[in-house]
Chains A and B, each alone.
Chain A
């Protein structure tokens, strides 16, 4: 095993691909699973009228309303939802400011349990029902119990197997995203755009709650209390990495949290949606690094600071793709490419600006634009080509 033992990293390209893949893979897996669930479980796309949650509190869409009514109703719904998210995020900032660490951590564990047990159970029952799988209730409850409790451990404990924690975070993202795809159609699209704008405001404005949170976390050298997906750090120089890991450990552990809204049937979480760099916290201990290393660390994709993506980003990307899947698979492909492109652009901006950036706006805007372009123009074109046997 003498690969790369003596040769130092000569360019950023050696590890950039690995870092990007580390974040693109879980996002793709999440989106793919949501599309799969949507295709398997949704035989009747127009039957979502009886679904109630906080996102439909102001207005419930029915099939008989005019488009203008639906649009207005969707605006009202999104307004209510974004207001609820803002209040909850400010509450989170307040609690973090008052250092209620245990409470936030307990709350995060509790919401993970609710999502995994409640939503996970309901979705598995839907799947069992759909496929008429002859499993008995005793086995099912044991499996569900196991799954949820280990998931709570994975999310709650700070030093757990990286792969299993990542897997459970992706599963939580999938479950919440599937739940959100059951909202009425117009509400979903307007909500996505509204959340993209909210994310932009919350992370970049000086008064935005997410920016306050990131600044507090950086000044205190703590981890942000939220369900955040952290890609596995790429090991470049082992001794320094071990030092870093141990050094980070001694501060307060990851105390995660989510923002919970009161939903009528089930609860959903809203996590932070900011990418952040943990490199500034750690750079001071490695002043003797060689130039390529410092350069890499400087752009935030360095060995210690793995890329972090909030779980809310996973969820809303998957909601967009899931909703596109309800129309046709062609829109799914278009939206998937748009979202991945947006994520790439966001990561590039991250390397340029080196501060926490909102991951939602670029991807969601591209995704929404591509969805409507595909639906209105591309589909007509492809159908005409196929029916005239020009292109299949």
Chain B
């Protein structure tokens, strides 16, 4: 329960008795001392997090699934505790769903392309593969 506020990197000091409330149950219910971001007290406050979560979610629609993934990573405590932060949780869960869908589609396409190879695609494969495209456009080689 108190671990809610301690989801942090291992190189941080565990001296994190931020909740002056000794009763773990009420701290869950009050949710005033559980930080919504993975950075804990170094991160955002709850009000700012709602704004951030919403902005990340909306920007992710511009073909940015990585931004959705970052959103989920950053607000990981929100995902872990299903009853705290209802507004943030809304956006974070939707970001997670969006990220999974997009990634599965992209992965399916990429795997089909790389495993199928020439047999599946024919001569188009050579035109689409990255190292040939780079050669054609002169992108490879910094000099």
Contact = CB atoms under 8 A, between A and B. Distances in A.
Interface of A: 1, 3-5, 15, 18, 21-22, 47-48, 50-52, 121-122, 125-126, 128-129, 132-140, 142, 145-147, 149-150, 153, 159-164, 179, 182, 232-239, 241-242, 245-246, 265-266
A125 B131 CA distance: 7
Contacts of B52: 159
B63 A182 contact: no
Given A125-B140, A162-B42, A234 B129 contact: no
B67 interface: yes
A239 B15 CA distance: 11
B2 interface: yes
B100 interface: no
A134 B143 contact: no
Which of B64, B67, B109, B131 has the most chain A CB atoms closer than 10 A to its own CB? B131
Given A128-B131, A135-B129, 16 more contacts: A5-B17, A50-B143, A126-B142, A129-B134, A129-B140, A134-B117, A135-B110, A140-B130, A142-B106, A146-B67, A160-B74, A161-B37, A161-B70, A162-B42, A163-B38, A241-B41
B64 A232 contact: no
11 contacts: A1-B6, A3-B15, A52-B143, A133-B130, A135-B130, A137-B128, A137-B130, A139-B109, A146-B66, A235-B40, A235-B41
Contacts of A52: 143
A260 B14 CA distance: 41
Contacts of A136: 109-110, 113-114, 128-130
A161 B129 contact: no
Nearest to A22: B11
Nearest to B134: A125
Interface string B96-124: 00000000001001100110010000000
Nearest to B12: A235
A125 B135 CA distance: 10
Contacts of A242: 18, 41
Contacts of B2: 1
B16 interface: yes
A15 B142 contact: no
B20 to A, nearest CB: 8
Given A128-B131, A129-B134, A134 B114 contact: yes
Given A162-B39, A235-B13, A153 B67 contact: yes
Contacts of B44: 159
Contacts of B130: 125, 128, 133, 135-137, 140
Nearest to A2: B17
B100 to A, nearest CB: 15
A150 B131 contact: no
Given A139-B106, A145-B63, A159-B52, A238 B41 contact: yes
A51 B63 contact: no
Given A136-B129, A238-B41, A4 B13 contact: yes
Nearest to A245: B42
A42 B141 CA distance: 11
A122 B142 contact: yes
Contacts of B15: 3-5, 235-238
A133 to B, nearest CB: 8
Interface in B11-66: 11-18, 37-45, 48, 52, 63-66
The 5 closest A-B pairs by CB, nearest first: A146-B66, A134-B114, A4-B15, A238-B18, A50-B143
A150 B14 contact: no
**Most chain B CB neighbours (cut-off 10 Å) among A1, A4, A146:** A146
